[in-house]
Amino acid sequence: MIKVGILTCSDKGSRGERPDESGKIIREMVKKMDGEVFFYEVVPDDKEVISKKLKLMADRFKLDLILTTGGTGFSKRDVTPEATKSVIKKDVPGIPEIIRLKGFKNSPRAILSRAVAGIRGNTLIINLPGSPKGVKESLMAILQIIPHGIDIIKGEAKECGS
């Protein structure tokens, strides 16, 4: 079982002005990879708040995977990638690259995402778009590789070549 945290980064969502449809989609989709959600929260688009929550989930709760949604665009309040970069120790550029590439096939605007992915301790952190459609498409693109990546991080992968 993969221990998952979901962090929705949205000013409107944190004030209760918008339902978190993207978080719901993530919760359902992680079941397909034997994931169980151990932490879920909606926070404002605030770099310090996001960074603290990422550290909490990785360092204290020792989650295997953190999926963020929202805050990856060009808006002045979009700071999720910066918050993520401030806490990760290793970059994993291939994940957001494939998400943008696959997303581009459905919407050219997907390449405007500034999402990042990386590792903190034994936790893989991946930024996803804020829209429900973007979240679903992004997870579909990477869902099958996440368990293997987590096994590598934990030192449990038997064979990396396939």
- Asked whether the beta carbons of 142 and 117 are under 8 A apart, the reply is no
pLDDT at position 160 over 70: no
Total number of domains in the chain: 1
Residue 24, domain member (yes or no)? yes
Examine residue 130 and state whether it is found in any structural domain, yes or no. yes
pLDDT at 158: 72
pLDDT of residue 42 exceeding 70, the answer is yes
Residue 47 domain-assigned (yes or no): yes
Quick check: 25 and 136 in contact, CB under 8 A? yes
| Predicted confidence band of residue 157 (pLDDT cuts 50, 70, 90) | confident
Q: Domain containing 74 — which CATH number?
A: 3.40.980.10
Convert 49-66 to b/e letters by CB count within 10 Å (16 or more is b). bbbebbbbbbeeeebbbb
| 16: containing domain | 2-154
Other beta carbons less than 10 A from residue 125's beta carbon: 26
Quick check: is 23 in a domain? yes
